[in-house]
Structure 1
């Protein structure tokens, strides 16, 4: 019996890096059903849950982001060297056929190990300004899959780049095709939204979280307070990201606004398709 390829997705740390990888993995699983797919990341609880819920193995690789002070610098060196050694061993022990670098600090260690072992690797770049991993390894990568053509000037002239756009998770694609079924396109979508609007309150979804999205946790409650009665009859659902739930709930409470704040939304696709307005940061993955 032939053994399928082992594809290792390396990176994560934030949803913007992780979810494009999960989207690509889902498509690969359909095209190459015998493939073995593993994700390697820093080991955050939410990330492990997301990957395992999607049906893939998850391996923890020690890693640290760029240090902000001398104390963090020591941890940065020790953890990332340990991550490189762990990745180097894992690639050989588990006979990885291909590494897919997703971006993020874990991606650097694994892609570096793949390069040293001679394991082919490709890179996913979600933004117009590439990550450090993409800039450092673009020349040696078999291919860089970019969301935007504007990424080219930031990479080595010999880098092989293919602009594909950002991959969407299967749940989004399935809902989109269902909405536009039978060739009705915008008509079907308009009818669906009209039916939804008649059967529920208008819904506002706020996607806060890490990085630039963190500011939404602070600014949106105050902004909604300013519009006053215009918000009457609206349901507000706010995703805060890890470690920011209580502070965001307190902000809404102080502003006198009734909102449902949650750390993460697992079924984000179905929620967004049943919403009237979404506020999010303009990152590449969010826009996709």
Structure 2
């Protein structure tokens, strides 16, 4: 790359989009590459520690419905964002722009194409997201996390390279800890988290399920659970009444370390969550968010379950009684937990961040090796 080695990343303001962008930024920075980030206004929630030279914010909007009013409003906002991104790219002059999904990636990637800058999208899920679906025909190349990605077909396949979904360095560091199955009389560590969209369901169902477990199992439990701020008090009281040792919080900054300390994880099936579970190699009960667009979480969970690395249970089928039954079987079968941990680890792609960085630099330098299918 001639001159300043600069790459622009674009990501929606959710953790699922920002975390893989964060991981790539870390790797590019290690290679001496300057990284900038462009996101929407939601990026403030996660972007404070983002390893970028500058975090730019551009106007964006997600299409809420197909009504003429919503379409017009979203189109206007995206046009404003594209103008803003066009101006930013003119000043920054990156060698490539990489998008990580969400409608906030649309303006910078369209603006990059208008300026003749090489572009790519990274799809974290097993289903091509809606914003990425709009961009797939417009970008130079496409990086994927799964060998099969729904809606990537026809001529688009020629643009595709499988890189995996990169995870942050904190996850890579935590992954060095080997899995240890629970012993016959030892403590059992459960980790429950669901993100801002899914924690309420777990707050409702998990305490009831754990209370229904036999006394010998319940007394061994050590629970760490994420809950919304408004649910923390009632969840804590429920565990206290059940005499279950529990730590409840809205956010755990050291979640990767807590994940590796767990004997079993109960969680949603967002792309970053599944990637982290497989890199660290921990068994999980995955409960996909039922209203996720295009059932992306269900597809993610099924792929992991098919590998033997976890168990997928749809929310509509999960009652406290069902969860209690599943937990009793698993917690009394340490060999099954250990086998799932091993399978999850086998399914992991710890080299994903290196692959994606190679892909990015090949794109920026105009090389075919490492991007697309050497088309």
TM-score band w.r.t. shorter chain: 0.7 to 0.9
TM superposition shift of 1:117 = 1.9
1:236 aligns with 2:220: no
Provide the rounded CA distance (Å) in 2 between the counterparts of 1:260 and 1:76. Answer: 41
Q: 1:253 to 1:112 in 2, by over 3 A?
A: farther
Contact 2:118 2:139 in 1 (8 A): yes
Map of 2:57 onto structure 1: 60
Specify which of 39, 42, 45 is matched with residue 41 of structure 1.
Answer: 39
Map of 1:203 onto structure 2: 189
Contact 2:187 2:221 in 1 (8 A): yes
Contact 1:205 1:279 in 2 (8 A): yes
Q: 1:155 to 1:14 in 2, by over 3 A?
A: farther
TM superposition shift of 1:130 = 0.6
Contact 2:232 2:249 in 1 (8 A): no
Deviates more, 1:82-91 or 1:60-69: 60-69
Map of 1:182 onto structure 2: none
Q: 1:29 to 1:251 in 2, by over 3 A?
A: same
Contact 2:9 2:38 in 1 (8 A): yes
TM superposition shift of 1:112 = 1.7
Specify which of 229, 236, 250 is matched with residue 245 of structure 1.
Answer: 229
Provide the rounded CA distance (Å) in 2 between the counterparts of 1:77 and 1:139. Answer: 19
- With normalisation by structure 1, the TM-score equals 0.79
Q: 1:130 to 1:210 in 2, by over 3 A?
A: farther
Contact 2:102 2:132 in 1 (8 A): no
Kindly report the root-mean-square deviation, in angstroms, between the aligned alpha carbons of the 2 structures: 3.0
- With normalisation by structure 2, the TM-score equals 0.62
Provide the rounded CA distance (Å) in 1 between the counterparts of 2:154 and 2:91. Answer: 32
Post-superposition Cα deviations, 1:254-277, rounded to whole Å, max 9, x if no partner, equal 564564332322222222122222
- Equivalent residue of 1:149, what SS? coil
Specify every segment of 5 or more residues in structure 2 that has no aligned partner in the other structure, as ranges: 276-375
- Equivalent residue of 1:227, what SS? coil
Q: 1:268 to 1:29 in 2, by over 3 A?
A: same
Contact 2:28 2:34 in 1 (8 A): no
Deviates more, 1:271-280 or 1:40-49: 40-49
1:167 aligns with 2:166: yes
1:117 aligns with 2:101: no
Q: 1:92 to 1:251 in 2, by over 3 A?
A: same
What are the within-5 Å matches in structure 2 for residues 121-270 of structure 1?
121-151=119-149, 153-159=151-157, 160-176=159-175, 178-179=176-177, 189=178, 193=180, 202-211=188-197, 215-227=201-213, 229=215, 230-240=217-227, 244-254=228-238, 256=241, 259-270=246-257
Deviates more, 1:42-51 or 1:161-170: 42-51
TM superposition shift of 1:102 = 0.4
TM superposition shift of 1:152 = 5.9
Q: 1:68 to 1:134 in 2, by over 3 A?
A: closer
Map of 1:183 onto structure 2: none
Map of 1:185 onto structure 2: none
Map of 1:7 onto structure 2: 7
TM superposition shift of 1:283 = 2.7
Q: 1:220 to 1:72 in 2, by over 3 A?
A: farther
TM superposition shift of 1:123 = 0.9
Q: 1:14 to 1:5 in 2, by over 3 A?
A: same
- Equivalent residue of 2:29, what SS? helix
Provide the rounded CA distance (Å) in 1 between the counterparts of 2:197 and 2:155. Answer: 29
Contact 1:209 1:217 in 2 (8 A): no
Provide the rounded CA distance (Å) in 1 between the counterparts of 2:205 and 2:45. Answer: 25
